[in-house]
Amino acid sequence: MFTLMVLQPPTLPQDLLDQLANANAKIRKTALKQMASLPASSQRNQLLIQTLSTDENASNCAFAAQILGQLQAKEAIDTLLLVLTKHTNKNVRLKIVTALGQLGDRKVVDVLLQALVKDRGIEVRREAIRVLVGWRELRALPALQKAYEKTKDRASSYHSLCQDVLLALSELGGVEPLLPII
């Protein structure tokens, strides 16, 4: 006679859960580092998602986003998208765009296009370009052309972004409409 055993997913150690709830941001970050090396579990991923959306420390939010991307936690996509559109810290938004790129789900293309054109952080825009070009996403062409128009005459801090846009357009085959104005 065979007995069917149902394996329960491992629960996280209580000391780790206590560290995540600690008021000290450095202690919470240490807990996040430990979580990255734990075996896959829905509890681990849910705690990372919770940290991303609720931790008041921007560094911890950014680190949670980074881990979620590295772990391929597709269940985090909706929260990543929400936090991307609401968070004021550009490093958090940058790590979220990187994580979305690692997850590779094309349902995020429209949000990445918005980040490319409207995000206040140049590095966030550059990362959105990198992700979209890496995916060979042709829907990015109009947004890239718009980004070029908006940045070509701006301050010198935008020159590298403008160069990235032109390179992306050439890689995707969309530089021809801009030739008269380049």
Domain boundary pick from 104, 125, 144: 104
Domains contained in the chain, number: 2
Whose CA is closest to 25, among 64, 56, 62? 56
Find the CATH number of the domain harbouring 91: 1.25.10.10
Give the domain range for residue 51. Answer: 41-104
70: confidence class by pLDDT, cuts 50, 70, 90: very high
Is it the case that residue 166 has pLDDT exceeding 80?
no
Domain boundary pick from 104, 120, 148: 104
Decide if 32 is inside a domain. no
The pTM of the full predicted model, rounded to 2 decimals, is: 0.83
What's the pLDDT at 160? 72
What's the pLDDT at 3? 53
| Same domain membership, residue 84 and residue 71 | yes
| Same domain membership, residue 148 and residue 178 | yes
**Per-residue model confidence as pLDDT tens digits over 11-65:** 788 999 999 999 999 999 999 999 999 888 889 999 999 999 999 999 999 999 9
